[in-house]
Amino acid sequence: MPASSLLRGKTTRWMPWVAAATLISGAAPTQAAGPDPGSASRPGPPSAAPAPRASVPDVMLLDQGGRRVRFRSDVLRDRVVVIDFVFTTCTTICPVLSSTFARLQERLGERLGHDVHLVSVSLDPVRDTPERLRAYAARHHAGPHWTWLTGPNDQVERLLKALGAYTPDASAHTPIVLVGDARTGVFERFNGFPSPERLVARADELLAARSHTASRERM
C-alpha cells in the first residue's frame, strides 16, 4: 500500500504510569493500514475505543551494538524520548518512519543526547539481529543518540503489547510514533506519519514543561 494513503497526524495522550511502571493509555488503536508489502486494502477510520491499562516492563533487550539493556532503566531513563516501531525487511511504512527520524535527528540538534533520545523497536526480533539493525541504522545515518532495539521474542512482544504497538504479523503493522517524558510518564501517540517538525514541537513542549516545573519547585 502506498505510504501516502495513510492518514497523518492523529494523536492521543497517555497519562503518567503508576509506581513508575503502569500507564493509563487513552490511545485508540491505530487505523488498519493493511499488510506491508503490496496490499490493496485502504485504511479504515480510526477507532475511538480506549486502550486498556498496561504495564511498561523493564525488559532486557539487545541494542544495535549487541549490548544487553533494560528498556526503562537503561534506554528511557528519565529522558524525553521519541519511539517508533520498525523492522529491517519492511519496504513501505518503515523506510518512511526511519527517514522521518533521520530528519528529526538533524532538527533536534544539540537537544539530541542532552535532552532527547530516539528509540526504534523491532517488530520482527526473530530476524532482526543486532547486526541487521546496525546495518539498517547505518543506511539511515543514525547517530549515537538513536537506539535500536531487538531481543528475545517473548521480551519484545511483552514490550510491544505494553506500548500498544504489538501485531502478530509484522507485515501488517501500522505507523505509530510515541513522544513522551519518561520522568513523568506522559506520552503522546501519533498514528500515521507525523512530520519531524511536529515531533520536535512536542518534544519542546515536554522540555518546557520540565523547566516550568523546576522553576515552580525553586520558588
CA 212 to chain centre: 25
Per-residue model confidence (pLDDT) at position 10: 53
Task: Please write the tens of the pLDDT for every residue from 56-100.
Answer: 789 999 999 999 999 999 999 999 999 999 999 999 999 999 999
Q: Which domains, and CATH codes, for the chain?
A: 3-37+50-218 (3.40.30.10)
CA distance 131 to 143: 16
Task: Please write the tens of the pLDDT for every residue from 153-176.
Answer: 999 999 999 999 999 999 999 999
Q: Which residue has the higher pLDDT, 80 or 185?
A: 80
CA distance 136 to 41: 27
Exposure string over 125-145, b if 16+ CB within 10 A, otherwise e: beebbbebbbebbeebebeeb
Q: Is 152 exposed, middle or buried (0-12, 13-18, 19+ CB in 10 A)?
A: middle
CA distance 177 to 167: 15
Tell me the DSSP string of 17-70. Answer: EETTTEEEE-PPPPPP---TTT------PPP-PPPPPEE----EEEETTS-EEE
Query: Does 136 score more than 80 pLDDT?
Result: yes
Find the farthest-apart pair of alpha carbons in the chain and give their distance in angstroms, rounded: 58
In this prediction, residue 55 has a pLDDT band, given cuts at 50, 70 and 90, of low
Across residues 165-190, what is the average pLDDT? 93
In this prediction, residue 146 has a pLDDT band, given cuts at 50, 70 and 90, of very high
Query: Does 129 score more than 50 pLDDT?
Result: yes
The label of the residue with cell 545515518 reads 141
Task: Please write the tens of the pLDDT for every residue from 4-18.
Answer: 333 345 555 554 443
